[in-house]
Structure 1
Amino acid sequence: MRALRRLVFGLFGLLGLSFLSFVLIYYSQGSVAFANVSQGMSSALRYQIEENLNLHQPMLKQYETWLFNALRGDFAVSLVSGEDVLSIIKERLPNTLILGGVAFGGLVILSLFLGLASLFSPTLDRLMSIVGLGFAALPAFSISLLLILFFSVLWPIFPSSGASGIGVEENIWDRILHLVLPVSALILSHLGIFVQFVRTTLNDSLNQSFIQFGLARGLSFFYIATRWIFKYSLPPMISYFAASFVSFMVGVYVVEGVFSYGGIGSSLINGLIFKDYPLILAILTLSFLAVMIVNFVADCLCEWLNQGRV
């Protein structure tokens, strides 16, 4: 019930997000007119281009037109390229899903493993506190540039841009090599904080009274860990992972831009530069829906796990 209530509120939040985003785009600097003519443009030519694209209309009128079209499933066309916005997203979304899915899955698995290991290894705990949190303090684009410098320039081991090599788009091994650096950048930018949260949550579970109760009954620590500790720890972990999905998604878009990965993040950055609001709003709407779905699934899992929580 709580998950469904949050989903309903999220739909209203989606409407507010789209309006706020449109206002910010409307009042931002730049113009779509500069997308094809970068220099030497007169004010009259710029106004003519914007008028041809109906950008001279009042802000509320433009938003109203976009909103009612979007509710019918029509997200218009890109003001820069003239392509259908949904076609652009459909073409580029698989790359984003592959990059984000692999990175987030690897981040969760590594966080659980290292968090549990650092709980019983003071050396690993200190190492994660220094190295892991050190990387977490850096922006994702800084880590990306460092990885490119070391593993593409100084030691040319991995490719530095693109989702695949030219002419070998179907080569699985080549696509994996192109994934290594962007996935590493995303994992390193979040791993330290995730590991510390997992370690703290597991440590809190170990200090609960039911642990001593189980040991007093003669139960093995393995049984207590698998049946009680993880049941107690999983709901807050799942909630934290889901709550961090927003910042992780932003990191995916930034890393895509640095590595020219060809996902919707690169399209979003280009759209922001030239105020291509149909493309920007479509990507932001899709991103917010993804966040809502992830949090809805996380809430359902937590409610199910809490039913049998010790």
Structure 2
Amino acid sequence: MESKLVFKRLIFVVFIAFFSTFLCFSMLYFSKGSIAYAKGTNAISLEAKERLEKSFDLDKPLLKQYSSWLFKALRGDFGVSLIHGEEIVSLIKERFFNTLILSLSAFFVLFLASLTLGILCLLYPNSLLEKLIHILSMSFLALPSFALALVFILFFAVFLQILPSSGTTDIGFEDDILNRINHLILPVCVLVLSHLAVFMQVAKTSLLESYEKPFILSAYARGLSQIRIILHFTLKHALSPIISYFGACALSFMMSAYVVESVFAYGGLGNLMIESIIFKDYPVVLALVFVSVLLAGFFTFLADLICLFLNPRLRGIN
């Protein structure tokens, strides 16, 4: 049963990857404009435009174009960037590590913060502390991530001048870990705070449902302390739905990370994605969509495996 469930999850990830790339490919196919103007010049003859489009097989029908691109992509050949003139695989490799570090750091901090605040709300229900947590988290939720990023840049980088406003590292400090961490603080804080309200509410709801189970009353009857019951019994029972929700939100969280990267000029995949969309570098856009969906699918699949490990009862669900 476990292998069957894992196989279903893998099939779903592959289907989503193909569907999303086909949808993106179709939108680019029917969009206005031409890649002949991708380098920002309109001074090109009609013959040169047609010749350039033919060299990229853009004169063929949609399905033939997509199948040609897909077969190459499955072999790891995403083509050449129209703007940079480099292999797209090389462009992605250069920036992939930066995006991975930013996303995983923010995801880990968000997970810990959501659990911690959810436990505090459970320990002190209807208290001033719980109301304050909700007010602050909802205040950050009201602002879009790019607006919150601009506010943080203005306050911490311009007014206080204690944190850098852009980049991955300072020039000449590429190998300095502390310098890299210093540049991660603001983007990570923006990503965490912009998602904290929803994720904390999910954690709180799951903890509250687990706290009302009959085995919790049995634990109190044995004379165990409240903090031990929450950390040992309630948290363990509530982790599965929390992790499942985190996994389901992997793609939307990644897209939010791309937006934050573009605001902070962070040298990751998000900055490359926004730049490619603006300049109609469609081969790079398609490659990034494909890679992003596969990554999100992998983390969703990983979350499902963790849930199966934490809650053996799920293994019997078909």
- Contact 1:31–1:274 under 8 Å retained in 2: no
Report the equivalent of 1:106.
109
Amino acid at match of 2:148: I
Report the equivalent of 1:124.
129
Equivalent residues in 2 for 1:24-35, closer than 5 Å: 24-35=27-38
Normalised to the residue count of structure 1, the TM-score between the two structures is 0.92
Change in Cα spacing, 1:39 to 1:124, as seen in structure 2 (3 Å) is: farther
| Alpha-carbon displacement from aligned partner over 1:53-105 (angstroms, at most 9, x marks no partner) | 33333322221210111122222111222211111111110110111111111
Question: Partners in 2 of 1:118 and 1:222 — Cα distance?
Answer: 13
Question: Partners in 2 of 1:127 and 1:31 — Cα distance?
Answer: 52
Q: Give how far 1:43 is off.
A: 5.2
Report the equivalent of 1:53.
56
Question: Partners in 2 of 1:137 and 1:235 — Cα distance?
Answer: 28
Change in Cα spacing, 1:157 to 1:42, as seen in structure 2 (3 Å) is: farther
Task: From 17, 21, 25, give the equivalent of 1:18.
Answer: 21
Q: Percent of pairs identical after alignment?
A: 45
Amino acid at match of 1:166: I
Amino acid at match of 2:141: A
| Alpha-carbon displacement from aligned partner over 1:3-48 (angstroms, at most 9, x marks no partner) | 3312212212211111111001222244333332345556555444
Equivalent residues in 2 for 1:257-272, closer than 5 Å: 257-272=262-277
Task: From 193, 203, 207, give the equivalent of 1:198.
Answer: 203
Runs (5+) with no aligned partner, structure 2:
none
Equivalent residues in 2 for 1:186-225, closer than 5 Å: 186-225=191-230
Question: Partners in 1 of 2:209 and 2:192 — Cα distance?
Answer: 25
Normalised to the residue count of structure 2, the TM-score between the two structures is 0.90
Amino acid at match of 1:168: F
Question: Partners in 1 of 2:31 and 2:133 — Cα distance?
Answer: 41
Question: Partners in 2 of 1:308 and 1:9 — Cα distance?
Answer: 22
- Contact 2:16–2:293 under 8 Å retained in 1: no
Question: Partners in 1 of 2:197 and 2:64 — Cα distance?
Answer: 46
Q: Give how far 1:185 is off.
A: 0.8
- Contact 2:248–2:300 under 8 Å retained in 1: yes
Residue 129 of structure 2 is aligned to residue 133 of structure 1: no
Task: From 71, 76, 83, give the equivalent of 2:74.
Answer: 71
Out of 200-209 and 55-64, give the one that drifted further.
Answer: 55-64
Amino acid at match of 1:236: P
The DSSP-based 3-state class of the residue aligned with 1:169 is coil
Report the equivalent of 1:153.
158
Report the equivalent of 2:148.
143
Question: Partners in 2 of 1:149 and 1:48 — Cα distance?
Answer: 48
Amino acid at match of 2:101: I
Amino acid at match of 1:19: F
- Contact 2:53–2:59 under 8 Å retained in 1: yes
Q: Give how far 1:220 is off.
A: 4.3
Task: From 300, 304, 307, give the equivalent of 1:302.
Answer: 307
Runs (5+) with no aligned partner, structure 1:
none
Question: Partners in 1 of 2:9 and 2:281 — Cα distance?
Answer: 31
Question: Partners in 2 of 1:47 and 1:156 — Cα distance?
Answer: 52
Q: Give how far 1:110 is off.
A: 1.1
Question: Partners in 2 of 1:176 and 1:31 — Cα distance?
Answer: 41
- Contact 1:186–1:251 under 8 Å retained in 2: yes
Task: From 68, 82, 92, give the equivalent of 2:85.
Answer: 82
Report the equivalent of 1:95.
98
Equivalent residues in 2 for 1:217-236, closer than 5 Å: 217-236=222-241
Alpha-carbon RMSD across the aligned residues, in angstroms, is 2.0
